[in-house]
Amino acid sequence: MNHQTIVIIDFETTGFKPKEDEIIEIGAIKFHTSDLSKYETFQTFISYEQPLPQKIIEITHITDGMLHENGIDREIAAQKLYSFIPEDAVLSGYNVMFDLGFYDALIKKCIKKEYVIKNDVLDILTIFRDLSKTSHKLSDAVSFYDVQTPNTHRALDDVIATFEVFKAMMKQEEQVIKTYTNIIGYPPFRSYYGLKLPHVKYLPQRSGLKDLSIVHKL
């Protein structure tokens, strides 16, 4: 395996549309595949002037007061995250294209209007869907691999939980990075929607196949 830096990201947001909704919390963890015991984390709240939707408060337990007291300006948060991610890092996450949609919009708004994500991409959800026939929420992956860090719908907790799931996957199958880099699977009963990157393949994926390379032939 070619050793490389991977950054797992997770955002808590006010909704599901990157061009309309806002990021309210960023979590990220950076590590090198040569030594998974060493890592660096990043977390911040982003200030938000409007009242949060009640549903978001219920899911994340993030409150207006938390953002007012601890949130930083969006532009500062964008620069901190952009600086945290090495140019050649693999961008990863659980359902990573959701987060990359917000990341792409954030960097375009705050740093470079012409920004294009060129990093390799590794989706932990796609891997889990391929290796397991269970349901496929992050909480399901946490239970499946007996991970001790819970999925709390808080950004840093969730990237750490995803990191622990990833490490368990590496023990199960050493070739997960080589096999799944730049492949995004999506349920075959609906079309893919969201950010699309030219160097990434988007394939309909039925669960439990253990060989995503054959999915496009189904």
Highest mean pLDDT among 25-34, 141-150, 205-214: 25-34
DSSP, collapsed to helix, strand or coil, labels residue 23 as strand
Output the domain CATH number for residue 96: 3.30.420.10
Task: Determine phi and psi for 85, rounding to 5 degrees.
Answer: -95, 115
Residue 205 domain boundaries:
5-217
Q: How many CB atoms lie within 10 A of CB 207?
A: 17
Query: Which pLDDT tens digit goes with each residue over 37-82?
Result: 999 999 999 999 999 999 999 999 999 999 999 999 999 999 999 9
Domain count along the chain: 1
Query: Which pLDDT tens digit goes with each residue over 158-206?
Result: 999 999 999 999 998 888 999 999 999 998 888 998 999 999 999 998 8
Highest mean pLDDT among 30-34, 148-152, 205-209: 30-34
* Cα–Cα distance for residue pair 122/179, rounded to 1 Å: 10
The pTM of the full predicted model, rounded to 2 decimals, is: 0.94
